[in-house]
Structure 1
């Protein structure tokens, strides 16, 4: 705070702090609090309320018939009973049309066995995507940061950035065209006799989760590569040369020198890739087209916009958020880094 005040002065620093506070409040806290509040209540209508209303109307009709042949005193008594019944009917009808909110954990406990399997599968698959992205991106980041000349490093970074000038949906559709039943890959395999497109004999790549893995790794590669590159770029090459002079193998140099130095970047890359994969809707929706099962994000979408059950959808979304937060702490524990290390 003091550094901010010294650098920009009270006026500009106060403006920065106010804008940050508004952004945190409007974009983070309010939506999350609304989602949590929505997930904690539900409206339940008694199954026999319609029957009670019908019986009350019947009783009112009978009392009105009785009042026609009753004495003046009896009519007054019957009128009071009819008035009380009509008030009770109005209360029941209001409850039927606008049931009261009941706060409980009901929305969290009514997740079906199928949705639990989808949730576990999504978390497992997101972890696999994260591992694949790490395996692919670490060598690229190391090569750009430590091995390549400045000119080659610039070309490699440009090659990573250029695809992101295209919309994510178009990049995912590009992989759909490559892996489709009569796509580029099956066409190339038909040239060497592995598949026969004319006879409908092709390899169903899209029916495998691997198709989603490939598209996700490609879609989120920068979110893994850049944090690792940023940390490896600060690694003194003299440490690598010293390890090599002392007889360390390439594997040992990476294990004892490069990877420990890159821990904050690896942790950030894993966190970002996992969270993007777990919450991705467009990639599994486009790549699977319903042939290899839903991801949990698709289940959440259906709860909101197809079932119109916003309370259940909010509970599902908050459950996924909690798992992503726990994953952040897991990465911090595994790589032994703190919030300051991640934020650098």
Structure 2
């Protein structure tokens, strides 16, 4: 803190601290705390609602009796007695109606009850979709890593920085187009009558139902999130000292041994960041699986969350589902850090 004020001065350091606090508390902590709180309660009928219902029925029966008593009182010949009885019945009727109103409001007003039952709403069918989403996201991350690693290594080791910059720019340019348009483009490419199946037909192969089989989701997701794997790998591989590679080659190491013993250990922070970002984006994707399957295949878990929030209007269960997905993503982050033996400091570089 003192170093911050010495480096930037009191006014600028105060602004930095204020903006950092707004970022951490307002954009990170507050939404998650609200989601956690929302997932831990639900509205239930008040305790003793069955007894209240019996009381209400009894009061309505009493109103029926009062109606009969009023008919009898109205036939009374003694006017003074008639007025007295009618006034007493009217007073009793008003009191009963007031009591009924109070009891009905109490019966119909749900009570906020804190419970973990929202997490138990995930039945076997939804658990299967949840597991499928996690496994598919892992597969997307693995495919993206296999595709992007050689590209990032080749670009990072180019002799001319201008060529490397041009290649990276070429990778970025398509992402200037809206994500939905790019997904729809892949839907047209992988359609049953699209260019991909037309090419397979020219090569003598039968058409492949990319969209119906779910393969289109993997292709579109790898394409949609490939930059989040390429850039971390490129950034870390660019710092690799070429002398280490040459020394390993001079010592007789094969290409595979060089990558296994020299390049991949150096690239571990980039691999961790790329896998974490790709996995989390894939697991949290909504548009890609919905568009690529045209909403006809088994839903992605994010679609279940959307349905709970906006179709079933059950925000508590939706929050519990979302929190479950967040928990798995958090576990994945620490698992990658453990497997690749990197720290948060390494990832943040």
TM-score (norm 1): 0.89
Q: Does residue 61 of structure 2 align to residue 59 of structure 1?
A: yes
Aligned counterparts, 1:65-104, within 5 A? 65=67, 68=70, 83=95, 86-87=98-99, 89-96=101-108, 98-104=109-115
Shift in Å at residue 79 of structure 1? 6.1
Cα distance in structure 2, aligned partners of 1:307 and 1:335: 41
Give the match for residue 288 of structure 1. 293
1:138 pairs with one of 121, 145, 149: 149
1:335 pairs, out of 335, 340, 346, with 340
Query: Structure 1 residues 86, 216: closer, same or farther in 2, change over 3 A?
Result: same
* Contact 2:36/2:323, CA 8 A, preserved across alignment: yes
Question: CA offset at residue 89 of structure 1?
Answer: 4.7
User: Would the aligned equivalents of 2:183 and 2:220 in 1 still touch at CA under 8 Å?
Assistant: yes
Separation of aligned partners in 1, 2:159 and 2:281? 29
Residue by residue over 1:20-73, the C-alpha shift from the partner in whole angstroms, topping out at 9 and shown as x without a partner, is: 101222212221111111111111237858954761452331452476469989
| Corresponding residue number in structure 2 for 1:252 | 257
1:224 is aligned to: 229
Counting only pairs closer than 5 Å after superposition, residues 262-341 of structure 1 correspond to structure 2 as: 262-341=267-346
| Mapped contact 2:56–2:103 kept (Cα < 8 A) | no
Once residues 55 and 213 of structure 2 are traced to their aligned partners in structure 1, the CA distance between those partners, rounded to angstroms, is 54
RMSD, matched Cα: 2.6
SS at structure 2 position matched to 1:7 = helix
1:111 equivalent in alignment to 2:122: yes
Q: Given the two structures, how large is their TM-score scaled by the length of structure 2?
A: 0.88
Superposed, 1:98-247 pairs within 5 Å as: 98-147=109-158, 149-195=160-206, 202-247=207-252
Q: Name the SS for the 2:138 alignment partner.
A: helix
Change (3 A) 1:335 1:193: closer
Deviation readout 1:302-327 (Å, 9 max, x if unpaired): 11111111111111001111111111
Q: What is the CA deviation profile of residues 250-275 of structure 1, one whole-angstrom value per residue up to 9, with x for unaligned ones?
A: 11111111111111111111110000
- Unaligned 5+ runs, structure 2: 74-80
Hey, what's the Cα distance between the residues in 2 that align with 1:300 and 1:331? 26
Larger Rg: 2
Q: What is the SS of the residue equivalent to 1:119? A: helix
* SS of equivalent residue, structure 1 residue 92: helix
Change (3 A) 1:326 1:212: same
Partners of 1:332 and 1:253 lie apart in 2 by 23
Residues 244 and 2 of structure 1: is their aligned pair in 2 closer, same or farther, counting only changes over 3 Å? farther
SS at match of 2:9: helix
Pick closer, same or farther for the CA change 1:49–1:257 going to 2, 3 Å.
Answer: farther
